[in-house]
Structure formats: structure tokens, C-alpha cells
């Protein structure tokens, strides 16, 4: 966020811990990132590994897991027009 702000990019921040995503929004994010919904889950996150074991679940089950435990979703995700990226390093923001 700090990098994007420093670059003067317009930002509309959505905190998924405060604003619940719908199943449709989760599916759309996965699609825009060319990922399966399961790939949006950070299975290495302490919140995931302390509660769950590695699973092979249906898309609907992954959506429910993300909705009930939003902290396990990989983030941040940046969107600009038709471009969507999973930001892994601050410099990734330049890609959009």
C-alpha cells in the first residue's frame, strides 16, 4: 500500500477481515488471477495450519473456508482495469 501511495496510484482499499467477500467475488478474483479458488488459500498461513490440515475440497467448500476465515486468503490483490495481480513484493505494484 505504501509503495502504491508513493507512486501516486489511486487506491480503494478493501480490508477482507472487515468486509466479507461474496462467493461470486471470490470466484471472480480467482478467475481474474487465472487460479482455482483453492489456490487463493495460503495453506502456509498460521491461521490455516493451526485449524486445518491440507485438504482437497470442492470449490464451494474453499469459498466457505475463505468466507469464514478470510485471513487464510492470499493477499494483497491489486486490480486496475482488466489487470489483476497477487502482490508478492512491493515492486509488483508496478505491473499494474
Tell me the CATH number at 38. Answer: 3.40.30.10
pLDDT at 36: 96
For residues 47-74, average pLDDT = 87
Sign of the Cα pseudo-torsion (48, 51, 54, 59, in order): negative
pTM: 0.82
Q: Is the dihedral of CA 76, 80, 84, 87 positive or negative?
A: negative
State residue 31's pLDDT score. 97
Q: What is the DSSP track for 16-66?
A: TTTSPPPHHHHHHHHHHTT--GGGGB-TTSHHHHHH-------HHHHHHHH
Q: What is the total count of domains within the chain?
A: 1
- Pick from 90, 94, 91, 44: nearest CA to 71: 44
**CA-to-CA distance for 44 and 71, rounded, in angstroms?**
12
Question: What number is the average pLDDT over the span 23-42?
Answer: 95
Containing domain of residue 25, as a range? Answer: 2-95
Query: Which H/E stretch holds residue 5?
Result: helix 2-6
Average the pLDDT over 37-61 and give the result: 85
Amino acid at each position: 500500500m505504501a509503495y502504491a501511495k508513493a507512486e501516486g496510484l489511486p487506491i480503494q482499499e478493501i480490508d477482507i477481515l472487515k468486509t466479507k467477500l461474496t462467493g461470486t467475488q471470490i470466484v471472480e478474483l480467482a478467475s481474474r488471477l487465472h487460479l482455482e479458488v483453492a489456490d487463493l488459500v495460503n495453506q502456509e498461513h498460521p491461521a490455516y495450519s493451526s485449524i486445518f490440515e491440507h485438504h482437497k475440497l470442492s470449490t464451494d467448500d474453499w469459498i466457505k473456508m475463505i468466507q469464514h476465515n478470510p485471513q487464510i486468503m492470499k493477499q494483497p490483490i491489486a486490480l486496475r482495469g482488466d489487470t489483476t495481480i497477487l502482490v508478492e513484493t512491493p515492486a509488483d505494484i508496478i505491473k499494474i
